[in-house]
Amino acid sequence: MKRIVLFLIFLEGNIMANENFVNPILAGFYPDPSICKVNDDYYLVNSTFAYFPAIPIFHSKDLVNWKLIGHAIDRIEQLDLNGFGVSRGIFAPAIRYHDGVFYITCTVVDGKGNFVITAKNPEGPWSKPVWLPDVMGIDPSLFFDEDGKAYLTYNSGAPDDRPLYEGHRTIRIVEFDYKNLKTIGKPKIIVNGGVDISKKPIWIEGPHIYKINGLYYLTCAEGGTAEDHRQVIFRSKNVFGPYEAYPHPILTQRHLSPYRKFPVTCTGHADFVETPNGWWAVFLGCRPYEPSQENYYNTGRETFLAKINWKDGWPIILEGNEEVKYFDKLPFGKKIPPTDIPYSGNFKIRFDFSKGELHPSFIFLRTPREKWFNFNQNGLSIKLRKDSCAQFGNPSFIGRRLQHSKGYIMTKMSFSPTGENEKAGLIIFQDEEHFYYFCKSKKDSKETLELYISDGNKHPEYMKLVEQKDIETEKPIILKIEFQGKYFAFYYGYDEKDLILFRDKIDATFLSIRKAWGFTGNILAMYAVTLGKDSTNMALYNWLEYEGNDDCYKMNK
């Protein structure tokens, strides 16, 4: 294994008092968290949709400092994501452990449906998917009971496929043969609609069952994954019900003012874990740029952590007007030093590609079917190919998640275009119809810098030119994209300490979920493309630097 060399700085605001941790614990596009505990080790997974490798496996000893140890889907023979829209594919994996085996259940939306994979080592290798064609719905989750039986819960359609209103769904349970990975018998509806069907609750989903003090607790999300998102809880003496509902959400921020300072919105899709210091919950939430009704954010849905408090036998995450905390007490009273790159707080990190390996946090847009990049002593070479990020294949695109609303990404690149169709640079990408591309190319006999905006099918190659500038040199060029809340700014130059403004005040809300839709967040990527036909040309990236410095982390002084 080659050594990955990183230059890492923790910035002001991420230096916590010894008793505090920073939320979100996984910043950026890490939605739909699921967690399990094995002895003193904690493992967490997230949705990845059409990105590859899929389903990151995080490990922690303290619930706060996480290390990315692998991905559950990392081979084309497991799953080929080509042809899927960027917000389709892998939805809501759930991880569980029983008798020496790890299990992940998950859904491939627009694909073959639900599946289960297994591994004896969480780092992998994970098995090929075993498909569950009789599980009709999404968000499957396993529960292992004390008597040796196992059950699968999942979101499904309305009774008899006759919804009473838009968003009317059910939670169903079926016995599961975990040794042979198949269901037993017929599923039973255990929740119809939600907590109170008379109020027409929508999109009951993300079910998980736990057995605590002799009772079965079922937690689910309601309200959809936007501002109305909330977490609810049910309990029963029997795994098949009937289930009694707690009348209020155990987690939501939907009723709070959108103008509060440093809001966290859209909270829900929680999973619970028991620790030596009680029960804790991981859940998704979003951080808007600023207090406003619009709820603009580009970082996507992120993973947060909070302690569960018990009230009259019910587990409560947050109740009343409690807000999600950016700083909270450490679960175990002390912080374990990180063993990986940071995933929360403010930080600066540089990836040195001359050492010959990508950090596992880098992702591809869908599954590579060929090797179109390589390493040498100078860095990472990416082949120009005609596959476009505006289509549904696997372009020459290597990215990492946007984790802050303020900061920058910067790279040093060597590239000599042979024609106007060849382009290489940096892209900030939300989906096939929402991205900005900052690249080097050629116009007539001169090399140029170009900034494009995506434009659906209205212009050739799905993007139109915003600005173009001739450059006279063939030296390696430095490209930088600054994110400044509602705006992006683009810089270039040949000395990273003396860069030239190319264009500023570019609308970042164009890439927000409110305008773009979707379940992902922005991805910052090295992207090389040739319009119309493949090329043998390569773009060389020496290093990639990322810095994030959000204001919400500066208040813990």
Tokens found for residue 386:
């005609």
3-state secondary structure 69-99: EEEEECCCCCCCCCCCCCCCEEEEEEEEEEC
Residue 455 is among the residues annotated as catalytic for this protein: no
State the Cα–Cα distance between residues 77 and 397, nearest whole angstrom: 21
Query: In Å, what is the CA distance from 538 to each residue of 316, 380, 400, 474, 535?
Result: 54, 10, 20, 15, 8
Beta pairing partners, 34: 45
Helix, coil or strand: residue 511: helix
Residue type, 3: R
> 32, 302, 352, 432: which one is catalytic?
32
> 74, 175, 205, 222: which one is catalytic?
205
Tokens found for residue 462:
């799905």
Non-local CB neighbours of 99 within 8 Å, separated by 6+ positions? none
Helix, coil or strand: residue 551: helix
Non-local CB neighbours of 64 within 8 Å, separated by 6+ positions? 21, 22, 25, 305, 330, 331, 335, 336
Residue 205 is among the residues annotated as catalytic for this protein: yes
State the Cα–Cα distance between residues 88 and 366, nearest whole angstrom: 11
Q: How far apart are the first and last CA of the chain?
A: 40
Give the active site residues: 32, 205
